[in-house]
Amino acid sequence: MSKQKSRNTQTEILLRRALHALGLRYRLHRRPVKGVRREADLVFPSVKVAVFVDGCFWHGCPQHATWPRNNAEFWRAKIEGNRSRDVDTDARFAEAGWLVVRVWEHEPPQRAALHVHEVVMQRRVARGL
């Protein structure tokens, strides 16, 4: 499992390309909130939007998650821990004024990009940018 990519996955790259085509510019793999050791996949600093691309297996996707039979207790604890950390991350970012957008790896990149674009544009309007 150590060979699994955590950055620049195919899903992430396709999302980035779609966002770029929509005219959005972003920062990659940043820790936007000081004191919180959580790295967002894409960050829009001016509007405080952080995008996380979640893998179906690693984050327990309700549609596609599978529970391994080998070493089942370990994997259940690992995936449930990831889910708990995701909830904690969302809360900590919200406290700091950030909006978290989560994208599942199975989502079509174009649809996910349109959702992120809409969120970023709404925040720009709300902030007068």
CATH of the domain at 92: 3.40.960.10
Residue whose token pair is 């992120």 = 116
Instruction: Kindly state the tokens that stand for 46.
Output: 């001016």
Q: What is the mean pLDDT of residues 6-12?
A: 87
Instruction: Kindly state the tokens that stand for 37.
Output: 């050791």
Total number of domains constituting the chain: 1
Residue closest to 40 by CA, chosen among 96, 79, 89, 77 = 89
pLDDT class of 85 with cuts at 50, 70, 90: very high
Whether residue 21 is contained in a domain is answered as yes
- Over residues 30-62, the pLDDT tens digits come to 999 999 999 999 999 999 999 999 999 999 998
